[in-house]
């Protein structure tokens, strides 16, 4: 069963900023980034437990073509995307900002 996926406002703002940055590098690259995000969201919606828990119930889905990860939490009837961050970002800053810990 495919679960609905909700994006926190912060996650949507992350995605828009990253997409804009990629479009500034090359026209159309932002859309390619968003396609990869959509594919990761589809994987999570179809099988939310596909990725292991990383921190306090949060999981991370790696994007295939871009060096970003989607942090999300899975619940019984839906999934919430918490953030999209660069894969090289300090995990402590991600935890403090989006996952409720330090």
Is the pLDDT score of 66 beyond 70? yes
Q: If you ran DSSP here, which 8-state letter would residue 2 be given?
A: P
Is the pLDDT score of 59 beyond 70? yes
Tell me what the mean pLDDT of segment 70-96 comes to. 81
Task: Determine the pLDDT at residue 69.
Answer: 93
Task: Name all domains of the chain by residue range, CATH numbers in brackets.
Answer: 5-99 (3.30.2310.20)
Distance CA 23, CA 14 (A): 14
Q: Can you say whether the dihedral through the CA atoms of 78, 80, 84, 87 is positive or negative?
A: negative
| pTM metric for this prediction | 0.84
């Amino acid at each position: 069963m495919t679960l609905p996926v909700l994006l926190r406002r912060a996650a949507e703002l992350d995605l828009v900023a990253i997409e804009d940055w990629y479009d500034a590098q090359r026209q159309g690259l932002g859309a390619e980034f968003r396609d990869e995000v959509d594919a990761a969201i589809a994987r999570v919606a179809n099988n939310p437990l596909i990725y292991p828990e990383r921190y306090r119930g949060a999981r991370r889905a790696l994007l295939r073509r871009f060096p970003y990860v989607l942090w999300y939490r899975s619940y019984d009837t839906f999934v919430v995307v918490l953030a999209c961050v660069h894969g090289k970002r300090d995990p402590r800053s991600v935890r403090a900002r989006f996952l409720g810990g330090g």
